[in-house]
């Protein structure tokens, strides 16, 4: 049963409506610890408004280390910013006004849902060793978010635990593409940067109806500048211990956050479309990854909207990039239509040619248990690095485009 730490004899009657009928009231931190020790399945502690803030934070810090599945909700008569910051750092999940019983009930419900999610993540024997999949292009508008969201929803539909991270911190579209209204985002991890753990990450996640978890970008572009790259590195490290797959949607630039993602990436999905600027940027991306020492065998080239008739062929792209194309995704107006409805086409229309291509990408190159040697792309010129992109390469492309 939930534990209420409060010295007021009337507290049990006051908060029973919000916390639940089966609640145990104790008056000291020592009695809270004793009650938790006596009940291994307990998941919720509510701290009353008259308990000293530092004492509540000390309890939360101890619980966080010893019983990370237990959530602590703190009641304050006048919640202040300084109290909120101190509470988040110590591991308290939520701070609620003492006279708002509806908000307290919602906070308790969210905390219990989070505790059950953490219990599910840890079930079956210890931490996961999830695969980090980074979806990247140096050119905007090529379909990164569409591919990332569909991959995430499809993998979640197969029973895998999947987190989709929107790393386009200033202008991310994951939330709007999935019609989510997140109450938390990556910016909520900033106070936990030096001590981020599974509980802290889970508190910032937004759940999608498909079973996919998302870590959304901040609402305001100005908040992006406040998030250090170290936070990205830490959240991905924690996430791969909680999830089977961590899909990273990125901005069209080699930012510090993107490089932090590439540092831990198992599969790099590099996207281009059938136009000269996109192909040129893809070649420069490959050159940059070579110069930074990232492994070539992890790269998967995806050609989006591959059947548009603009004068270029897949062979032209292979000739310029010196890398084979792993998956070709056809063009279809059904894709933006599904995005506008907030659904993933890969599960909404599973027999659609785009859905078939996306499943081939997931099963052939992301899910190691489904991939076969034949489905894994071979990098052309794997022994020697490809020569840098030249003006002649671009002239050849333009010549093909005019035919």
Average pLDDT, stretch 160-183? 93
User: Which pLDDT band, with edges at 50, 70 and 90, does 365 fall under?
Assistant: very high
What span, in angstroms and rounded, lies between the C-alpha atoms of 239 and 218? 18
111 lies in the same domain as 167: no
**3-class secondary-structure state, position 45:** strand
Average pLDDT, stretch 259-269? 93
pLDDT of residue 320: 83
142 lies in the same domain as 116: no
pLDDT of residue 396: 52
What span, in angstroms and rounded, lies between the C-alpha atoms of 20 and 176? 35
pLDDT of residue 83: 85
Count how many domains the chain has. Answer: 2
User: In the structure encoding, which two tokens stand for residue 305, read together?
Assistant: 């909207």
Helices (DSSP H) in 322-352: which residue ranges?
334-341, 345-348
Whether 371 shows a pLDDT value over 60: the answer reads: no
214 lies in the same domain as 322: yes
Q: Which structural domain, as residue segments, surrounds residue 16? A: 3-122
pLDDT of residue 370: 60
352 lies in the same domain as 212: yes
**Widest CA span of the chain, in angstroms?**
85
CATH number of the domain within which 349 lies = 3.40.50.300
Whether 403 shows a pLDDT value over 60: the answer reads: no
Helices (DSSP H) in 251-343: which residue ranges?
256-263, 276-292, 314-321, 334-341
CATH number of the domain within which 8 lies = 3.40.50.2300
104 lies in the same domain as 145: no
Whether 345 shows a pLDDT value over 90: the answer reads: yes
112 lies in the same domain as 137: no
Considering 87, 122, 157, which residue would you say is the last residue of a domain? 122
Positive or negative, the Cα torsion across 400, 326, 165, 347? positive
Average pLDDT, stretch 250-266? 93
- Nearest-CA neighbor of 44 among 110, 100, 139? 110
User: Which pLDDT band, with edges at 50, 70 and 90, does 78 fall under?
Assistant: confident
Q: Which residue has the higher pLDDT, 369 or 223?
A: 223
pLDDT of residue 316: 82
Per-residue pLDDT tens over the stretch 87-118:
877 888 889 999 999 999 988 888 887 777 66
Average pLDDT, stretch 368-381? 44
Lowest mean pLDDT among 116-125, 217-226, 229-238: 116-125
Cα angle 236, 367, 162 (rounded to 5 degrees) comes to 40
31 lies in the same domain as 175: no
pLDDT of residue 373: 36
* Bridging pattern class, strands 206-207 and 213-215: antiparallel
Average pLDDT, stretch 198-220? 90
Lowest mean pLDDT among 35-44, 155-164, 327-336: 35-44
- Which residues contact residue 342 at a Cβ distance below 8 angstroms, ignoring those fewer than 6 apart? 177, 178, 179
User: Which pLDDT band, with edges at 50, 70 and 90, does 372 fall under?
Assistant: very low
154 lies in the same domain as 109: no
What span, in angstroms and rounded, lies between the C-alpha atoms of 355 and 349? 7
Average pLDDT, stretch 39-49? 89
Considering 122, 139, 159, which residue would you say is the last residue of a domain? 122
150 lies in the same domain as 64: no
Put simply, whether the predicted model's pTM sits higher than 0.75 gets the answer no
- Nearest-CA neighbor of 275 among 296, 234, 303, 254? 303
> What totals of helices (H) and strands (E) does the chain contain, helices first?
16, 13
For helices 11-19 and 101-122, angle between their N-to-C axes, nearest 10 degrees: 60
3-state secondary structure 178-232: CCCCCCCCHHHHHHHCCCCCHHHHHCCCEECCCCCEEECCCCCHHHHHHCCHHHH
What span, in angstroms and rounded, lies between the C-alpha atoms of 219 and 2? 34
Average pLDDT, stretch 71-95? 86
183 lies in the same domain as 265: yes
Q: Which residue has the higher pLDDT, 79 or 341?
A: 341
Contact (CB, 8 A) for 148 and 249: yes
What span, in angstroms and rounded, lies between the C-alpha atoms of 269 and 272? 10
Annotate 350-383 with b (16+ C-beta within 10 A) or e (fewer). eebebbebbbebbbbbbbeeeeeeeeebebeeee
94 lies in the same domain as 143: no
Considering 57, 91, 122, which residue would you say is the last residue of a domain? 122
184 lies in the same domain as 67: no
Whether 227 shows a pLDDT value over 70: the answer reads: yes
Q: Which residue has the higher pLDDT, 317 or 333?
A: 333
User: Which pLDDT band, with edges at 50, 70 and 90, does 68 fall under?
Assistant: confident
């Amino acid at each position: 049963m939930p534990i209420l730490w409060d010295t007021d004899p009337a507290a049990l009657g006051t908060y029973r409506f919000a916390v639940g009928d089966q609640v145990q009231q104790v008056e000291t931190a020592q009695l809270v610890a004793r009650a938790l020790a006596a009940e291994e399945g307990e998941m919720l502690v509510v701290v009353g408004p008259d308990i000293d803030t530092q004492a509540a934070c000390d309890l939360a810090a101890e619980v966080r280390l010893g019983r990370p599945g237990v959530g602590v909700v703190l009641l304050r008569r006048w919640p202040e910013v300084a109290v909120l910051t101190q509470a988040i750092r110590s591991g308290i999940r939520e701070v609620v006004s003492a006279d708002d019983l509806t908000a307290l009930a919602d906070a308790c419900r969210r905390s219990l849902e989070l505790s059950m999610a953490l219990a599910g993540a840890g079930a079956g024997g210890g931490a996961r060793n999830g695969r980090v999949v980074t979806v990247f292009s140096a050119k905007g508008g090529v379909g990164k978010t569409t591919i990332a969201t569909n991959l995430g929803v499809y993998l979640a539909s197969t029973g895998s635990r999947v987190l989709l991270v929107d790393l386009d911190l200033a202008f991310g579209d994951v939330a709007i593409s999935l019609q989510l209204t997140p109450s938390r985002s990556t910016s909520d991890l900033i106070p936990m940067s030096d001590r981020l753990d599974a509980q802290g990450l889970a508190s910032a996640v937004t759940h999608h109806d498909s079973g996919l978890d998302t870590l959304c970008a901040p609402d305001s572009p100005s908040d992006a500048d406040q998030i250090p790259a170290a936070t990205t590195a830490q959240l991905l490290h924690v996430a791969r211990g909680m999830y089977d797959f961590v899909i990273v949607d990125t901005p069209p630039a080699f930012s510090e956050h993107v490089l932090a993602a590439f540092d831990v990436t198992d599969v790099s999905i590099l996207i281009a479309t059938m136009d000269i600027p996109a192909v040129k940027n893809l070649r420069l991306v490959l050159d940059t990854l070579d110069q930074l020492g990232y492994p070539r065998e992890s790269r998967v080239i995806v050609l989006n909207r591959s059947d548009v008739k603009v004068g270029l062929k897949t062979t032209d792209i292979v000739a310029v990039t010196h890398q084979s194309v792993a998956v070709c995704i056809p063009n279809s107006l059904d894709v933006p239509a599904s995005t506008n409805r907030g659904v993933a086409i890969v599960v909404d229309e599973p027999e659609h040619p785009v859905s078939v291509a996306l499943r081939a990408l997931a099963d052939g190159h992301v899910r190691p248990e489904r991939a076969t040697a034949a489905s894994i792309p071979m990098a052309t010129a794997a022994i020697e690095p490809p020569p840098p992109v030249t003006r002649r390469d671009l002239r050849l492309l333009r010549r093909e485009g005019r035919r």
